[in-house]
Amino acid sequence: MLGLYVHIPFCKKKCFYCDFVSIEYLEEIVNNYLKALQAESLKYKNEKVDTVYIGGGTPSVLSIVQLEKLISIIKTNFNVSNIQEFTIELNPESTTKEKLEFLYKSNISRISFGLQSIFDDNLNILGRLHNYEKFKNAYYYAKEIGFININVDLIYGIPNQTLQNWTDTLKEVINLDSQHISLYPLTVETNTLFYKKNVEPNTDLQAKMYTLACKILKENNFKHYEISNWAKEKKYSKHNKLYWQNQEYIGLGTSAASYYKRYRYKNNTNVLKYIENIFNNKNIVIEKEYITDELYKKENIMLGLRLSEGVDIEYFKDKRDILNKYVMDKMLVIINNKVKFTEQALFVSNTIISDLL
């Protein structure tokens, strides 16, 4: 399997918590960015890809003409004849009926909505531009025209959010009858307005919210297949699973990461510099690392433990003592030669993973 990720680094406005690479939408810059993506694609002429994921930033901020250009760049430069999944991320405020119809006609098979909360006061605190009504209009129209694989992103631990608010959010989202839900604890990164304002998430409350979500989603037939992801009817994200299974992918665009022919790369994180360098035939790669067998083993542990299917015990040969300790502490279990997290360990998984590397 080989994935293709395309980064669209444009948003209408920066959310107060976000440190993803994105700048304000300006038509002319986007048009130049698309030309740069076309040029970068030539490096991979006709490579066969199994999944495509257009993420951001805000891909839905592009006009239909720009979306058409973007999809055509992907379809003409890569072999998509056997593609298994084609996802695009959408923000409710910039998703129109016309864009949804266009995406459906273009064979986009999966959409991912950034909802974050069903409460408008939470959305205002986060600096989001949509309200719940706007999301519902976009979501139900997407279902009406035929999308059957829709993800909804939520954030928990928003300032002032209570356990009751979180329970109501989860129940409401379950009633929307989507096939996939991603839940992220609010993190405050440097370079964000939340950081400047000293917003500090309450991690104890977030841990309670996570445990509650695991319970409520399980009762409603969602399978918890990855630390932050739940799906019904086996509608797992094929593209994201490919990352966690340590398979290769090509990343196009500014700040995009690739894992290709055993090398990991990262592209320039400055949007204008990325465009300029492509236009002047200059290097756009800012990091490049060969993945040795030893690194590959470590990555398999780090990424694979995120999945409920777990990691082959053979990867832990020289870590048996630490592994046994966590098994005794009921943080890890070994079932059919696969090492997996127990549910209580999932929220603190990062610490355990770093101990095992």
Ligand X SMILES: C[S@@+](CC[C@H](N)C(=O)[O-])C[C@H]1O[C@@H](n2cnc3c(N)ncnc32)[C@H](O)[C@@H]1O
Under the rule (CB under 6 A), what is the footprint of ligand X? 17-18, 20, 56-58, 89, 91, 114, 116, 153, 155, 184, 186-187, 189
- Binder of residue 242, out of ligand SF4, ligand X, none (CB less than 5 to 8 A by kind): none
- Binder of residue 89, out of ligand SF4, ligand X, none (CB less than 5 to 8 A by kind): ligand X
In the region spanning residues 67 to 126, those forming contacts with ligand SF4, defined by CB under 6 A, are 91, 114
Nearer to ligand X, 111 or 332 (CB): 111
CA distance 239 to 276: 30
- Positive or negative torsion for Cα 120, 125, 126, 129: positive
- Binder of residue 187, out of ligand SF4, ligand X, none (CB less than 5 to 8 A by kind): ligand X
CA distance 277 to 296: 31
- Residues belonging to the chain: 357
- Going by the DSSP 8-state scheme, the letter that residue 192 receives in this structure is S
Check if the beta carbon of residue 267 is closer than 8 Å to that of residue 254. Answer: yes
Q: Copy the structure tokens of residue 195.
A: 């950081």
Per-residue binding string, ligand SF4, 13-52, x by CB under 6 A, is -xx--x-x-x------------------------------
Nearer to ligand SF4, 50 or 93 (CB): 93
Q: Copy the structure tokens of residue 122.
A: 């939470």
Nearer to ligand SF4, 15 or 170 (CB): 15
- Binder of residue 243, out of ligand X, ligand SF4, none (CB less than 5 to 8 A by kind): none
DSSP secondary structure of 277-304: HHHTT---EEEEEE--HHHHHHHHHHHH
In the complex, the smallest distance separating the C-beta of residue 24 from ligand SF4, rounded to whole angstroms, is 10
111: which strand partners?
88, 150
- Binder of residue 266, out of ligand SF4, ligand X, none (CB less than 5 to 8 A by kind): none
